[in-house]
Amino acid sequence: MSDPLVWLPFDPALLGDPPGGLRYEVVDPTAHVPGSVEDVRFYVTPYAVGPGVADVLPRMSRLEVVQTLSAGVDNVRGRVPDGVTLCNGRGIHDTSTAELTLTLILASLRGIPQFVRAQDRGSWEFAWRPALADKRVLLVGYGAIGAAIEARLRPFEAEVVPVARRARDGVHAIDELPDLLPDADVVVLVLPLTDATRGLVDATFLGRMKHGALLVNVARGAVVVTDDLVAALHAGRITAAVDVTEEEPLPARHPLWDAPGLLVSPHVGGASSAMWPRAHRLVRDQLHRYAGREPLANVMSGDY
């Protein structure tokens, strides 16, 4: 009997110490699906999880594990066959996404986009801007990335209010949001996309936010109702910074491009030099667990 086959999106040499007793192939199923697809036991998806990444799953008749390189699994979870273990990339993007979140908050509050535009015009435009210090920041979603964001926020002398699906010590439940939103200066979305969170940030949610508050979305675009966000921005009620949008890439003439008070980054939360070393470590450790028949990390529960 041949060794179990592992599909990787990168050279196995990058793992440093890949376990023996496994076969490795470097495959991008969105570009080419080799005949070995029926033999795959352990599938590490490419970082960019497009439709083609999940399209191959029904053809993997011997599949045992799907390991994503993203924290969110919304693009694959409905396609994973029964009996196959799904693991996410928890821990890979904590550092990168937390850094970008702080960047978006600080850039938005201190008016960096306006300063850059003034620089392009050769115009010196002095302005007073709000600081992050003394602000109340509502973290909607408090997993590993949320905790990493909190750790970076606290040295800026901001008050951090964590919110998760369920209440626990020091963390509010998500059903408390209506009472928490009016007092928040910054609202950061870092929760997974599920049936319960899709469209969570709608006109009602935005209407409860403090006038002039900043909304930051580093979660998934579909957590926010885009038309409602555009309306709130044009009304001047809030400002926003988004790394994710419902439609990606964002089309050239999309209303978000012209919305006032909005900073857009092109889904680069995990796209930094910090990502790949952490991805390689996680995959290496998971493969050692798999080869040693030990429990895997980051196993997603049935409700994700």
Rounded CA separation 33/171 (Å):
45
Q: Which residues are catalytic?
A: 220, 248, 267
List, in order, residues 6 or more apart from 257 with CB less than 8 Å away: 250, 264
At which residue do the structure tokens 């086959």 appear? 5
Rounded CA separation 153/40 (Å):
42
At which residue do the structure tokens 């439940």 appear? 173
**CA 133 vs CA 32, 155, 158, 188: distances in Å:** 50, 9, 5, 16
List, in order, residues 6 or more apart from 193 with CB less than 8 Å away: 72, 74, 219, 220, 222, 223
- DSSP category for residue 155: G
Name the token pair of 203: 């006109």
